[in-house]
Amino acid sequence: MGATLRCSKEAVPVDPEQTLRYRARASDWNYGMEDSRNYNGKAGSCARDLVTECRRCADIICRNCAIKPPLMTALRERHRRLCVTCAKAPIAALASPALDISLPLTSEAVQRAVCQCDTEGVWLCQPCGHSIRNADHDYKGIWRWRTKYGGFTGIGDGDRGVICGREEACLAAREKEQEIDCDAEDARGSTLAPWSTGSSSGTPSPGPQHTGTPPGGGSGFPFPTNGTVESIIEEMRHQRTPSPQLGPGYERHEIEGIGGIVKRKLVRMVRVGACVPEWEDEKNSSNKILAREVNGAARSWCGWCWRVIPGDKDKRQCAKS
């Protein structure tokens, strides 16, 4: 054999301090690099006996860098409902990238594009799989909330329903306006404090009043050490956003909030999936939510590997052909 697959994290050095710690969090260095914590490498060496692609991002990972598979009882919670357009479209059109729509379900290319979490197991890297269970609980919570509020309270179909499980990749997705607080958006693009001497790309440097030390001096407290509570409150009332040099424009709108504080909203166009249908039997009982998808009667979308799950109708059409 000339060559074999190697894990993409094999070149990352092993941190000796992390080796004897909790083994299930072997790839914490992935998150450490995101939140700027000090991680010197991975917790253990990569394996070479079981290496394959992540089912979501196609990154080559070994069994030591993959997540611990969820319990089999959690498989029923991975289902996401599809909109009418995605539910009626050929399965090959839901693949990423899209395949020839004339390919049957039994073809090898389509079989690689459908969800196989229930048959071949869950194989996801740490960045893709560390929050799949939280996403399942959030999705179920949306449907439980929907059973309590219906069209009579102003929450009905149209733009106020549950969006397609494929989200922005939905075949019937549309461009819509989205409002984001500029303070949060600017903070996301910068990992430095507002009084830091440097600035990240795309975020302007602070004003002249910030010269490398916090407003409170060298103590690290963000307010003056000799200021009273009243002066601090008065200063906060007239405080603007952390990015005053980013003036209003076509996307940034100034809005005067409570207490006279000027806020900036970032308005941009995003792709939003179409709303999914809701059935009467689901509105009366929360136990029947997504029952058609869980039982396999209807086509659904896997929230773990982001692949389509064929329904009974798809299997019957494949058997006839």
**Tens-binned pLDDT, residue by residue, of the chain (321 aa):** 456 788 998 888 887 665 555 444 544 445 444 444 444 567 678 888 889 999 999 999 999 889 999 999 999 999 999 999 999 999 999 998 889 998 888 899 999 999 999 999 999 998 999 999 999 999 998 888 876 765 555 444 446 688 999 999 999 999 988 777 776 556 555 444 333 334 334 444 444 444 444 444 444 444 454 556 666 666 655 554 444 445 566 677 777 778 887 777 888 888 989 989 888 888 777 678 899 999 999 999 999 999 999 999 998 888 876
Q: Does the predicted model carry a pTM greater than 0.75? A: no
- The pLDDT, as a whole number, for residue 150 is 58
Map tokens 């006839």 to a residue. Answer: 320
- The pLDDT, as a whole number, for residue 320 is 78
- The pLDDT, as a whole number, for residue 171 is 94
- What is residue 91's DSSP assignment? G
Instruction: DSSP for 25-65, please give it.
Output: GTTTHHHHHHTT----SBSSPPPSSSEEE-TTT--EEETTT
- The pLDDT, as a whole number, for residue 94 is 93
Cα 188 from Cα 208, distance rounded (Å): 23
Strands 300-302 and 174-181, by their bridges, are unpaired
Map tokens 């080796």 to a residue. Answer: 19
Residues 39, 29: contact at Cβ < 8 Å?
yes
